Amino acid sequence: MLLAASAGFSVAQAQETNAVTIKNFMFSPMAITVKAGTTVTWKNLDGEPHTVVNDAGLFRSAALDQNETFQYKFDKPGVYKIFCGIHPNMRATVTVQ
């Protein structure tokens, strides 16, 4: 039972490392590297709405208000360029191995 609890804790920790915050009109971190099959979560901490858009059209979030999140599971290796559809100067990269 203790083993299962510690394994669950490890999974929770791993999920947090796949989190990107949106704050001060920036994605943080601006570049993240994950393994194929990983779900990345973006959370908007700004008072202004933001979107999470892939420049190749693979995904596009709805406008995220403060404290709202968007998740996307990256199944295929590659480099994914991300930007905010409302503020296109906000850019980030997700590298999937």
pLDDT tens track for 50-93 = 999 999 999 999 999 999 999 999 999 999 999 999 999 999 99
Q: How confident is the model at residue 5 (pLDDT cuts 50, 70, 90)?
A: very low
| Counted domains in the chain | 1
Residue with tokens 């979560």: 41
pLDDT tens track for 18-51 = 999 999 999 999 999 999 999 999 999 999 999 9
40: its two tokens = 């990345």
CA distance 11 to 13: 5
CA distance 23 to 45: 5
Q: What is the CATH number of the domain that holds 40?
A: 2.60.40.420
Q: Does the pTM exceed 0.85? A: no
Structural domain that includes position 69 = 2-96
Secondary structure element (H or E) that encloses residue 67, with its range? none
Q: How confident is the model at residue 9 (pLDDT cuts 50, 70, 90)?
A: very low
